[in-house]
Amino acid sequence: MHMVARRLTILSGVLSLLFVCAAHVGSPDAYFDGKAGPYPVRVIIRSPTVIPARAEIVVRVTGAAVSRVTATARVWGADEKNAPPPDDAARVPGDSTLWSLQLWIMRQGSYAVIVHVDGAAGPGTATVPYTAVAQGVLKMNRTMAVALTAAGIFLIAGMLTIIGAAAGEATLAPGAQPSDDVRLQSKRVRWIAAAIILAIIVGGRIWWNVEDKAYASAVFRPQAMRVTVRDDTTSRGGRVARPGRTEQHTRIMRVAIDPAVVGQRAWVPLIPDHGKLVHLFLVKKNGLSAIAHLHPVATDSITFESALPFLPAGEYFVFADVVHENGFAETMVESVTLAESPAMAWKPSDADDAIFTGNGVRTPFRFDDGSTLSWDGANSAHKIGGADAGLHFTLRDASGAPLSVEPYMGMAAHAVVVRDDGKVFVHLHPMGTTPSIGSMAPMAGTMPGRFEFPWAFPAAGRYRVWVQFRRAGGVRSAAFDVEVGTATSGNR
């Protein structure tokens, strides 16, 4: 309980972030779009900065009349009988479909937030995976520190005065004057009391520093990874190139989780998310003018390699999304510089690999065959940090008729959002930010070419949004630019 009290005390200060990164960079909140039985629900989990603390749960329920919404946070894999009882959500005034509540998150790790809905259509339940991590350390602001220090000095002075009086004047009969011995005794007791109080303060300070360092060491930092690029030169016959033979150049990107880090922490193996162990994204730093979405092949449990497509030379952000067996999802972050390379025939390491080079547009994005992908409502309202991003897209042919798509890693589409400084990155699906754990079975047929990604821009800035989907057997990408303002900028 002392940790809970300590964190609650620190909440009086202001935020000093050490690092903000959970399952996605700069966007630790979780978003889920799905169903709780017969009820369509959208769940937003707003992550607390420190842990223990309360996470805000916002649930939008549509469909039949809803009478009650509850939620509970269950540690991933824990027995149901040991889970805390569900808390009731309250309706948000002015919106009959919106409910909210707060749930205590007591420790870091993987959770399942269980949302239960009761209504005219009967009961329904949705399970939302959630990764809880401490994102930073809160420090006490200077004004509060000065006020508490002054109050402490006043209390200590008063305590010493009372102790001195109790050992001196209080021992005399009424009206008697204290002798030199009584004054000396009073002074001696005050000094002893002051020494004891000082020892308590010093001991408390030492305890505080130990606790503070222990908490700071638990603040989430992504696993270190090493990114290297090598050139493989082979002859067209597949053998090592020799003089006189036509050479074929292939660049290989190698991603390795730092073995030293793996040895220092309890290593939890990776499991597939949307059928892939690693989703690797390379985004060109200068202007975000190129992106590669790759799925490296494992060479061992912590090393992965992928054939690198032709990309313009320059510096690139590297983001690697992974999910561990305990349900913990994280994004590893690194940078790499790609040198000039001759154009080459690219043979993807994975059939779902995709690249895009070029600038973003406002809307719509037009493909070579005349079809378009429109960001519905993108020009009708300014985007505000913290508000619903409104990521709704529709695919149409050249005549304006709706088109269908083929499943792409089990989804109708995927989206990648990056802020121009690289401090915000998120890989989205129509179901939200939650991972789809396990291998994805091949899906046949087509899906409607209308995509909606639940998410909110976490902060103001310039963003690029890439939407990727499969059609006619190939992966297509569209890029959109958006300027996001703050809630106080007047851009509502």
Looking at the fold, whether 329 and 457 belong to one and the same domain comes out as yes
Q: Which residue shows structure tokens 């490296």?
A: 296
125 belongs to a structural domain: yes
Q: Any idea of the CA torsion for 61, 67, 72, 78, to the nearest 10 degrees?
A: -100
Q: Is the pLDDT of residue 37 over 90?
A: yes
Tokens of 347: 């043979």
Distance separating alpha carbons of residues 204 and 349, to the nearest angstrom: 57
Q: Which of 50, 52, 6, 61 is nearest to 28 (CA)?
A: 50
Percent helix, strand, coil in the chain (nearest 5)?
A: 15, 45, 40
171: Cβ contacts below 8 Å, ≥ 6 apart: 182
Do 105 and 25 share a structural domain?
A: yes
pLDDT band at residue 234, thresholds of 50, 70 and 90?
A: low
CA distances from 457 to 169, 339, 424 (A): 68, 33, 9
Question: Using 50, 70 and 90 to split pLDDT, how confident is the model at 264?
Answer: low
274 and 357 share a domain?
yes
- Position of tokens 């009391």? 193
Confirm whether 147 is domain-assigned: no
Is residue 491 situated within a structural domain?
A: no
Q: Are residues 281 and 383 in the same domain?
A: yes
H or E element: which one contains 268?
A: none
How many CB atoms sit inside 10 A of residue 149's CB?
10
Any domain includes 143: no
Cα(346)–Cα(334) distance, rounded to whole angstroms? 24
Number of domains into which the chain is organized: 3
Q: Give the per-residue pLDDT at 492.
A: 39
Count helices and strands (H / E) in the chain.
4, 32
Q: Global pTM?
A: 0.77
- Give the whole-angstrom CA distance, residue 289 versus residue 307: 20
Nearest residue to 108 (alpha-carbon basis) of 3, 34, 259: 3
pLDDT band at 77 (very low <50, low <70, confident <90, very high): confident
User: Quick one: which of 255, 310, 247, 276 has its CA closest to 427?
Assistant: 276
How far is it, in rounded angstroms, from Cα 259 to Cα 264?
9
Predicted pLDDT of residue 261: 63
For position 404, what pLDDT does the model report?
A: 96
Tokens of 249: 């150049």
Show the domain range for 78: 2-136
Length reported for the chain = 492
Nearest residue to 70 (alpha-carbon basis) of 83, 52, 53: 83
What residues contact 274, with CB distance under 8 A and at least 6 apart? Answer: 409, 410, 411, 429, 435, 436, 440
Same domain, 186 and 241: no
Cβ-contact 74, 83 below 8 angstroms: yes
Judgement on whether residues 292 and 367 belong to the same structural domain of the protein: yes
| Predicted pLDDT at 444 | 56
- pLDDT digits over 368-423, tens only? 999 999 999 877 667 888 888 999 999 999 999 999 999 999 899 999 999 999 99
Mark whether 214 and 229 lie in a shared domain: no
Please give the single-letter amino acid code of residue 458: P
Q: Answer for the pair 433, 415: CB distance below 8 angstroms, yes or no.
A: no
- The answer to whether residues 437 and 323 touch, using CB atoms and an 8 Å cutoff, is yes
Alpha-carbon distance 131 to 109, whole Å? 6
Same domain for 315 and 265, yes or no, is: yes
| Distance between CA atoms of residues 256 and 150, nearest Å | 53
In this structure, how many other beta carbons lie within 10 angstroms of the beta carbon of residue 174?
Answer: 4
Mean pLDDT lowest among 73-82, 235-244, 317-326: 235-244
Q: With respect to residue 244, please indicate whether it lies within any of the assigned structural domains.
A: yes
In a domain, 432, yes or no: yes
Coil, strand or helix: which one is 56? strand
Note the pLDDT tens digit of each residue in 174-196: 888 888 888 899 999 999 999 99
CA distance 75 to 82: 9
CATH of the domain at 13: 2.60.40.10
pLDDT for residue 476: 96
For residue 225, the SS3 value is strand
Pair (204, 271) in one structural domain: no
Measured from the Cβ of residue 7, the count of other Cβ atoms closer than 10 Å reads 18
Burial of 491: CB neighbours in 10 Å, binned 0-12, 13-18, 19+: middle
C-alpha to C-alpha distance for 86 and 68, rounded to whole angstroms? 12
Residues 478, 352 share a domain: yes
pLDDT class of 3 with cuts at 50, 70, 90: very low
Give the pLDDT confidence of 115-166 residue by residue, as tens digits: 999 999 999 999 998 888 887 888 888 999 999 999 999 999 999 999 999 9
- Cα–Cα distance for residue pair 406/472, rounded to 1 Å: 8
> CA torsion sign, 234 to 235 to 239 to 241?
negative
- Residue 455 shares a structural domain with residue 353: yes
142 assigned to some structural domain: no
248, β-bridge pairs? 234
Query: Residue 492 falls within a domain, yes or no?
Result: no
Alpha helices in 18-60 (DSSP H): none
**Same domain, yes or no, for 62 and 202?**
no
Q: How many Cα neighbours within 13 Å face the side chain of 259?
A: 3
Whether the per-residue pLDDT at 15 is higher than 60: the answer is no
* Cβ(104)–Cβ(48) below 8 Å: no
Residue ranges of E strands in 133-286: 137-139, 225-235, 247-257, 270-271, 279-284
